[in-house]
Structures are given as C-alpha cells and as structure tokens.
Structure 1
C-alpha cells in the first residue's frame, strides 16, 4: 500500500522527539512520494526544523487548550489545519490521550500507535507491538514503521544546523570564553526529574579534575538549571565555562557536536549528543538504560548501585539522593577512556 500524506504525532519531550527522528527518515525512504507532517509542541520544535525528510511542522500550542474557553476558541482552527492536509495515515508515537485525539481529529483512516500506549490511546489507533517491544525506545518507534512493510537498515538522526545557527553558536561560545578549537567536555547538570540529577558538588569536582587534565569543562542546559549552576560555581576551584540558558536547541547541538564528550543524566540534551555521535557518559538511576540509554555505540552508562535502580519514580519515596553513589573518579575515568580512544 502507498500513502500520500502521513502524520507523525510526537509532541514532547525533547529526548522523546529526538528518539523519534529516525521515523521521519524511514517513512520518506519507504514512501518517497508521501508528504510527511509532524505535530509537535514548542519545546522540541527547533530540533525538527530544516529536516529534509519532514515536509511540514505543525505546532501544537498546549497552553491554548488548557481551559474550556480556550479549547472552544482554538480547537476548530486546529482541526481545520489537520483536515486540510487529508492525511491517509497517522502514527501516534506519544501514546497518550491528547496525541490520540490529535491522531483521530486528523481524519486519517489508518491510525497506528506504538506499543506502550496509555490512557486508552490504543482504543483510537491500532496498537503496534513489534519485535523490539522490550528494547530501546528508538526501535520501538521504528517498529511502527516496520508494521507498514518498510525495511530499516540503520536508524538516521537528522539534526540540520544551518549556517546562521553555526554563526550564532560561534559567537555565543566566544562571548563565554570558549575556544572551540581546544578540547572540551560538555557537562549537563539538569534533568526534568529531581532524582535523575547527579549532585552539584560532584559536578564541581569533576570540572576541576577535567581542568587538571587539560580538558575544558563547559556547562550547558536550560534556564531551569541556573540554580544548580550557581551552586556548582560556588563549589568549583576553577571557574568553569557557563552556557546554561544561553543557547537554543540547535545552538546547543552545534556546541555538543564539537565536544570531545558529554556527561549527563537521562535528559534530552544527552540523547541529542548520542544522535550527533558525540561520546556520552550517561548517569542513570530511576530510569532504565536498556530503554532510555544513549542510542548507538561509543557511549558509556554508569548506574547507581542501589537495588531499586530503574524504579521509574520521579521522586524517591525513601528520600535517597539516587545518583549520589556514582563517584567523581568513576565518571572522570569514563570521560578519559572515551576522549582518549
């Protein structure tokens, strides 16, 4: 069967949208005549721009639909935008009620939802559980494409950094005192779960050890990480380079692409680094690296030694600092082992 208009619904989070990037490439290669449209929320929008395998990006502005009045005001226009495209296939890779509703409202007669669908989203689309239903999330998403009879050799992560974004990234780096020609390591102190974060004092100690080894520590992340960064600066012997809250996603991608390695917890920028083939030292506690670890080869995963590792809880019920038992020396040696390969 062939398709003319295919809709991908993957709204958030940044890491999950990055995981789904190979779906667009695989669909376009399998159905080159098809127009690929992606519905996404604002935080991850930037990562999809200028992708040659995505013909259109539709922004879903969630805040407009939170109130009943907002829903009545904005829903008709959004539905019209979807229906005008005349989709014949919709892939719900979010697997939640809101994404299922978008898939349904698109009018696509064929709707597929990936294996881990929740909130009754599998009642709106056909649930696809392929051979990787217990494997990495990238492969789970691609199983939905395989259900269509498409052959996928090697997943492709397309992150297109334009000349303008490159120029802006160079300017930001220069202003921060970072010489991109010198060896540097990107450190990501923030995550969206409190218990995914490695302690600030350990990041400070790691930064000092990197300086001693002629590797420049560069801290990056979103504005939500500014408080953690202040603590890291306060506890560092040498003032590290601070890019926290100073880059867009594409600018961050440029910085990461030029780094020797990235140290991070289970967070979107960590998955961005893996997608860009920059070596990653990933620090895992409450989540499962078999499902959510850095995709591909050349990365290292360090996990907490606790019996409850992989509990999938946003906050520890016992008040434990989940990643605290991952030592600075352990992380430092992992960095050195990847940088010196």
Structure 2
C-alpha cells in the first residue's frame, strides 16, 4: 500500500522525540512522495525544524488543553486542522491517551500504535509488536516502520543545524569563554528524576581532572539546572565554562557535536549527543540502559553494583543512592578510554 499523507504523533520529551527521528527518515526513504507531518509539543519543536524528512510540524500546545474550558475552546479547532490534511495513516509513537486522541481526531483511516501503549491508547490504534518488544526504544519505533514495509539499512537521526544556528552557538560559547576549536568535554548534571542525577561533588572532581589533563569542562542544561551548576563551580579549583540555559536545542547540538565527549545521566541531552555522533559516557541506575541508554556502539554505560538497579523510582530512599557509588575516577577513565588518549597522572 502507498501512503500520501502520514501523521507522526510524538509529543515529548526531548529524548523521546530524538528516538523517533529514524522513523521519519525510514518513512521518507520508502515513501518519498508522501507528505509527512509531525505533531509535537513546544519544548521539542526545535529538534524537528529544517528537517528534510518532515514536511510540516504542528505544535500541540498542551497548556491550552489542560482545563475543560480550554479543551472545549481549542479542541474543535485543533481537530479541524488535523482533518484538513486528509491523513491516510497516523502513527502514535507516544502511546498515551493524549497522543491516541490526536491520532483519532486526525481522521486517518489507519492508525498504528506500538504494543506497549498505555492509558487505553491501544484501543484506538492497531497494536504493532515487532522483534524488539523488549529492546531499545529506537528499535521498537522502527518495528512500526518495518511493519509498513520500510527497510532499515542504517539507523539515522536526521537533524539539520543551520549556519545561522552554528554562528549563534559559537558566539554564545565565545562569550562564555569557550572556543570550540579547543578540546572540551560536555557535562550535563541535570535530569528529570532526582534518582538519575550523579552528585555535583562528583562532577566537580571530574571537572578538575579534566582541567588537569588540558581538557575544558563545559556545563550544559536548562534554566532549572542552574543550582546544580553553581554547586559544581563552588567545588572546583578552576570554574568550568557555564552554558546553563544559554542555548537553544540546535545551538546546544552544535556545541555537543564539537566536543570530545559527553558525560551525563539518562537525560535528553545525552540522546542529543548520540544523534550528532558524539561519544557518550553515561551513568545509569534507576532506569534500564537496554531500553533507554545511548543508542549504538562506541559509548560507555556505567552502572552501579546494587541489587535494586533498574528500580524505575524517581526518588531513592537508600543511602548512598546508587549513582553515588560510581566514583569520578571511573568516569574519568571511561572518557579517555573512549578517546583512546593517555590518561594524565
């Protein structure tokens, strides 16, 4: 069957949207004449712009739909917009009630959802179970593409960083004291779960070790990570470069792309590093790296030796928390083993 108008519903978060990018590439390669539209929430919108595999982006402004009044005043208009595209296929990669509702409101006669869908979303779309049901999220999404006849020769994360965004990123870095032609390592202390955060004191020690080996540590993250950056800086001999809250996602992607390595936990910027081809050293404890870890090879995944690993708990009541047991020396060695560089004394 040939599809002419395809809707992808993947709303958030940053890492999840990055995981779904290979689906757009696979669909466009298999159905080059198809028009592909993606519905996404505002925080991840920037990841999809200027993408040759995506013909249109529709923003789902979630705050407008949270109240009954908002739903009644905005629902009809949004549904009318979706139906005007005359989609013949809708792919719900979010697998939640809100994404299923969008898939349904699109009017597409064929609606697909992966078989691990929740919140009754599997009642609205056809459940697709492939060979990677218990594998990495990227491969699960691609199971849906393969169901549609897509041949996956190479998994690609298409992301177009324009020259304007490159220039802005370099200007921001220069203003903060970083020249991108110098060797540096990106540190991402923030995550959306407290249990996934590596201690700031560990990041501080790692930053000192990097400086001792002529490598500049650069802290990145959103505005909510400012406190973490301040704690790291307060515990270092030489303050790292602080880029917290100073870049857009595409600007951050360029800065990560130019770095020697990325260090952080299970967080969106870690998956951004994978997408732009940067080596990752990541610390996993409460979540499963087989499902959510950095996709592909040439990355280092460090996990603590504890019986409660992969507990999937946002908060940890144990002392010390599992990630605290991963000491900075181990992370430092992992960075340089991936870079195939001699570790300084």
The corresponding residue for 1:218 is: 218
**1:275 partnered with 2:275:** yes
Q: CA deviation at 1:48?
A: 0.5
SS in 1 for 2:90: strand
SS in 1 for 2:220: strand
The corresponding residue for 2:71 is: 71
The corresponding residue for 1:40 is: 40
Cα distance in 2 for partners of 1:87, 1:255 equals: 37
Cα distance in 1 for partners of 2:304, 2:195 equals: 11
Q: CA deviation at 1:323?
A: 0.7
Cα distance in 1 for partners of 2:233, 2:250 equals: 25
Cα distance in 2 for partners of 1:258, 1:115 equals: 38
Q: Please give the TM-score of this superposition, normalised by the length of structure 1.
A: 0.99
- Number of equivalenced pairs: 341
The corresponding residue for 2:257 is: 257
Cα distance in 2 for partners of 1:322, 1:105 equals: 44
Is the 8 Å Cα contact of residues 217 and 241 (structure 1) preserved in structure 2? Answer: yes
Is the 8 Å Cα contact of residues 115 and 140 (structure 1) preserved in structure 2? Answer: no
Cα distance in 2 for partners of 1:143, 1:289 equals: 19
SS in 2 for 1:282: strand
Structure 2, unpaired ranges of 5+: none
Render the CA deviation track for 1:46-102: whole Å, top value 9, x for unaligned: 000000000000000000001111111111111111000000000000000000000
Is the 8 Å Cα contact of residues 170 and 179 (structure 2) preserved in structure 1? Answer: no
Cα distance in 2 for partners of 1:15, 1:203 equals: 22
Q: CA deviation at 1:321?
A: 2.1
SS in 2 for 1:149: coil
SS in 1 for 2:326: coil
Q: CA deviation at 1:167?
A: 0.7
Render the CA deviation track for 1:140-198: whole Å, top value 9, x for unaligned: 00000111122111111011100110110010010000011111000000001111000
The corresponding residue for 1:175 is: 175
- With 146-155 and 18-27 compared, the bigger mean Cα shift is at 146-155
Render the CA deviation track for 1:107-157: whole Å, top value 9, x for unaligned: 000000012100110000011110011111000000001111221111110
The corresponding residue for 1:85 is: 85
The corresponding residue for 1:327 is: 327
The corresponding residue for 2:239 is: 239
SS in 1 for 2:113: strand
Listed as ranges, the matches of 1:41-190 within 5 Å are 41-190=41-190
SS in 2 for 1:217: strand
Q: CA deviation at 1:317?
A: 4.3
Cα distance in 2 for partners of 1:65, 1:319 equals: 40
Misfit runs of 4+, over 6 Å: none
SS in 2 for 1:206: helix
SS in 1 for 2:2: coil
The corresponding residue for 1:17 is: 17
Cα distance in 2 for partners of 1:233, 1:96 equals: 40
